[in-house]
Amino acid sequence: MTEYVAVLETARKVFIYSNNRNWDGLANDILADEILTDDSSYPGAPPAKLISKHELISWLQGAYAKITGAHHQVSNEIIHIEGNTAHANVYVTATHYKIENGNLTKWVVFSTFDINLSKDNNSWKVNQLKQNFKFEEGNPGMVFS
């Protein structure tokens, strides 16, 4: 597998593994031990913070416990690799949904993400996730309540 494809697949799997609630795969195959997370472009979000992969996964598990599911559509990837570091810029449409008593509630977020990766023991690991929020529609309260 070329380095380009390996970086692209790792960046995509951040979202695929989250959609599938594959927390072990995220922890073991995708995330570095520490990740700089930055959602500060989203209104009301905290500033960038360096956290452990276990803290990130714990937060994701809590958010996903409130919803039926999510579908992150990733596209328009631009990859840059320099030695053992890489950067991926991707477009993400994140649809979160909850079905309760036969009623569907959705929250859709439109963003780009800057994802930094480093090569560790012959595999690429994500060490930074920066969301560049564009707009949203629906009910963010279904996750942030």
Please report, for residues 17, 62, 74, the alpha-carbon distance to residue 67 in angstroms, rounded to integers and kept in the order given: 16, 10, 20
Residue 86 structure tokens? 């890489």
Spell out the alpha helix ranges (H) of 65-123: none
Condensed to tens digits (0 to 9), the pLDDT of residues 85-103 reads 999 999 999 999 999 999 9
Residue 62 structure tokens? 């809590």
pTM of the model: 0.94
Are the CB atoms for 100 and 69 separated by under 8 Å?
Answer: no
* Segments forming the whole domain that contains residue 118: 3-142
Q: Residue 90, Cβ neighbours under 10 Å: how many? A: 21
Residue 93 structure tokens? 């449409």
Which of the two residues, 143 and 87, has the higher pLDDT score? 87
- Least confident stretch, 2-6, 21-25, 138-142: 138-142
Total number of domains in the chain: 1
The upper half-sphere exposure of residue 113, i.e. CA atoms within 13 Å in the direction of its Cβ, equals 28
Domain containing residue 7: CATH number: 3.10.450.50
What is the model's pLDDT at position 1?
62
Condensed to tens digits (0 to 9), the pLDDT of residues 16-72 reads 999 999 999 999 999 999 999 999 999 999 999 999 999 999 999 999 999 999 999
What is the model's pLDDT at position 144?
76
What is the model's pLDDT at position 145?
67
Are the CB atoms for 25 and 10 separated by under 8 Å?
Answer: no
In single-letter form, the type of residue at position 107 comes to: W
What is the model's pLDDT at position 143?
84
The whole-number average pLDDT for the span 6-11 is 98
Q: What is the DSSP letter of 140?
A: G
The whole-number average pLDDT for the span 116-141 is 95
> CA-to-CA distance for 78 and 4, rounded, in angstroms?
10
Please report, for residues 9, 78, 81, 139, the alpha-carbon distance to residue 126 in angstroms, rounded to integers and kept in the order given: 11, 15, 13, 29
